[in-house]
Amino acid sequence: MHAFNYQHPKSVADAAAALSKGGDAKLLAGGQSLVAAMKLRLAAPTDLIDLSGIKELAGIKVEGAGITIGAMTRHAEVARSEEVRAKIPALAGLAGGIGDRMVRNMGTLGGSLAHNDPVADYPAAVLGLNATVNTNKRKIAADDFFKGMFETALQTGEIIVSVSFPVPKRAAYIKFRNPASRYAIVGVLAAETGSGVRVAVTGAASSVFRVAAMEKALAAKWSPDAVAGISVPSAGLNSDMHASAEYRAHLVTVMARRAVEAAK
């Protein structure tokens, strides 16, 4: 790891100001991707702006028909939150299945979304549950947030403050883990939400995506059989030593079927 300046602001405004001061500054949330990259010398920011001291980024609140979760909320907190478990068990379950115990105790919702790793779990939750990403500047709909591999709609100086999840009628997330890294080779979140059926897939491609054909079939009939015959094209899917694009495409159907079954 190379040397860097450490900053510990107490407000989102101070963090945004520090971020705009030039240099290669990076926000530090849970550090589960960034610090690992720094240790391997793959990332060498001049400044780390630690968000852990900012109160307005913390906490889980039930608001109307939804739950708003602060960006610095750790995966483990989401997993064990009584409110989340009661209202959106699929989200609590997803958070409880991220990485390992250390990752869950350190990693954060905001950090995961801003990083937008193609194999991360949270993007499937945000897209599949039609959540809204609240930043220090605006509200971004899930469908507009994820732009590609490690790319989001966030602009320079923009910081995720919280994410608002509407409570779905039913939802489930099923993941096929990479045997080595335990990241998602394919993770599918299937949900029936107030704004329609959504099927979001992570791990399979360069970024999280929805499967329109499955959503349509499930809207007509919520049943595992409805998606069993629907496959996504393998062209454009990720392909590596752990899973070819063909295998991933197959797993999307299997995981979708199992997610629908689990969300009965």
User: Helices then strands (H, E): number in the chain?
Assistant: 12, 14
Q: Does 243 bind other proteins (CB under 8 A)?
A: yes
Q: Does 244 bind other proteins (CB under 8 A)?
A: yes
54-62, 187-195, 202-210, 239-247 -> range binding other proteins (CB under 8 A): 239-247
Return the residues of window 11-40 that contact other proteins according to CB under 8 A. Answer: 40
Backbone torsions φ then ψ of 62, nearest 5 degrees: -85, 120
Strand-pair partners of 192: 170, 197
Per the structure block, which two tokens stand in for 220? 């007509």
- Cα separation, 29 vs 110, whole angstroms: 7
Q: Which is nearer to other proteins, 59 or 224 (CB)?
A: 224
Q: Which is nearer to other proteins, 205 or 245 (CB)?
A: 245
Max CA distance (Å), the chain = 57
Q: Which is nearer to other proteins, 60 or 254 (CB)?
A: 254
Distances (CA, A) of 246 to 57, 214, 232, 238, 242: 41, 18, 10, 9, 12
Instruction: Please report how close the Cβ of residue 240 comes to other proteins at its closest, in angstroms.
Output: 8
Q: Does 234 bind other proteins (CB under 8 A)?
A: no
Q: Does 179 bind other proteins (CB under 8 A)?
A: yes
Residue closest to 115 by CA, chosen among 52, 36, 174, 190: 36
Return the residues of window 40-99 that contact other proteins according to CB under 8 A. Answer: 40-41
Q: Which is nearer to other proteins, 180 or 235 (CB)?
A: 180
Contact positions toward other proteins, by CB under 8 A?
A: 1-2, 40-41, 176, 179-181, 183, 241-244, 247, 250-251, 254
